């Protein structure tokens, strides 16, 4: 049984469960005429989530009363889709930023404001499944509210999903990582003569950059240098444009992860670039 601590609005209540764990319960009309210490009607509970270090109770309590009740209800309905596809833990982790984002996006759209998120196309390359699902969510919200939300609104939702399924750590880290991959992609695009049709190759390249960001190289003494140096020499001579761009990307990656790329990593990056860059 959930016992009310206070109603935030008609659709949100701060409460505690039988173990004394503080929760926030969402549901249509769940907070109507509810007072402290009243039992919460379980038939009205559509979703509960537990405040965390990233989203403490005071932040949630401050946020929810300022959101339109209808917008919160739409977000709750969309979170049910997240639960069905990703599981309850992911839905719980994204509940607060997602609800805030939905309300903000709808407010902007109603006011005729547009947001141009250049990162959207690259999020699609990096996380195609999450981006596709985010588009479904945004589309369902647009249909339910009759407010058109542009495709750019799906990119933050996709990153919320990525962050949540990877454990729900600091969202700013996930965003910084996505922006770094996007910067690396831009370095290659600047030399690609607009060869943007090879989406499979671009996705492979983005996936490889993500791998490099997450995995530091072996220490120099663990790497046999001569064969690698020979391969680097051959690649530098045969594919000078790809090698030069690969070195630029390697510099970006090294700066982000804090360790330089080993020779075999640069060689493999070069080979990835040859699939995207013409040498003449």
Are 212 and 159 members of one domain?
A: no
Last residue of a domain, one of 109, 137, 169: 169
Asked if 83 and 158 sit in the same domain, the reply is yes
Q: What is the CATH number of the domain that holds 17?
A: 2.30.24.10
User: Do 231 and 257 lie in a common domain?
Assistant: yes
- How confident is the prediction along the chain (280 residues), in pLDDT tens digits per residue? 899 998 888 888 888 888 888 888 888 888 889 999 999 999 988 777 776 655 655 666 666 667 787 888 898 889 999 999 999 889 888 888 898 889 889 988 998 887 766 788 899 999 999 999 999 999 999 999 999 998 889 999 999 999 999 887 677 888 888 999 999 999 998 887 655 556 788 999 999 999 998 876 444 444 445 455 677 788 888 999 999 999 999 999 999 988 899 888 999 999 999 988 876 5
d(CA 115, CA 132) in angstroms, rounded, equals 19
The whole domain housing 252 covers 185-276
3-class secondary structure per residue, 4-51: EEEEEECCEEEEECCCCCEEEEECCCCCCCCCCCCECCHHHCCEEECC
- Residue 269: give its domain's CATH number: 1.10.1790
Q: How far is Cα 256 from Cα 273, in angstroms, rounded to an integer? A: 20
Q: What are the distances in angstroms from CA 84 to CA 138, 165, 217?
A: 16, 14, 38
- Non-local (6+) Cβ contacts of 129 within 8 A are none
169: phi then psi, degrees, rounded to nearest 5: -75, -155
If asked whether residues 207 and 128 sit together in one domain, one would say no
pTM beyond 0.85: the answer is no
Q: Do both 240 and 267 map to the same domain?
A: yes
Residue 174 domain-assigned?
Answer: no
What does residue 41 show for φ and ψ, rounded to 5 degrees? -65, 110
Of 145, 169, 193, which residue constitutes the final position of a domain?
A: 169
Residues 134 and 208 in one domain: no
Asked whether residue 179 is assigned to any structural domain, the reply reads no
């Amino acid at each position: 049984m959930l016992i009310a601590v206070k109603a935030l609005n008609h659709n949100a209540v701060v409460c505690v469960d039988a173990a004394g764990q503080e929760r926030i319960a969402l549901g249509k009309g769940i907070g109507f005429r509810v007072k402290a210490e009243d039992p919460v009607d379980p038939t009205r509970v559509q979703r509960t989530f537990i405040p965390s270090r990233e989203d403490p109770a005071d932040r949630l309590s401050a946020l929810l009363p300022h959101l339109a009740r209808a917008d919160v209800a739409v977000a709750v309905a969309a979170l049910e889709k997240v639960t069905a596809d990703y599981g309850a833990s992911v839905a719980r982790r994204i509940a607060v930023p997602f609800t805030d984002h939905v309300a903000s996006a709808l407010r902007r759209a109603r006011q005729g404001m547009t947001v141009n998120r250049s990162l959207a196309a690259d999020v699609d390359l990096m996380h195609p499944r999450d981006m596709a699902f985010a588009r479904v969510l945004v589309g369902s919200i647009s249909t339910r509210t009759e407010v058109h939300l542009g495709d750019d609104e799906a990119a933050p939702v996709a990153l919320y999903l990525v962050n949540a399924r990877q454990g729900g750590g600091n969202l700013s880290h996930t965003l910084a990582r996505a922006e770094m991959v996007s910067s690396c992609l831009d370095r290659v695009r600047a030399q690609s003569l607009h060869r943007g049709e090879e989406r499979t190759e671009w996705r492979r390249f983005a996936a490889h950059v993500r791998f490099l960001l997450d995995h530091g190289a072996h220490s120099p003494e663990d790497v046999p240098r001569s064969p690698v140096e020979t391969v680097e020499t051959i690649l530098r001579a045969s594919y000078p444009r790809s090698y030069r761009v690969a070195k630029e990307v390697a510099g970006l990656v090294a700066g982000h992860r804090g360790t330089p790329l080993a020779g075999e990593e640069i060689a493999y990056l070069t080979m990835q670039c040859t699939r995207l860059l013409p040498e003449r």
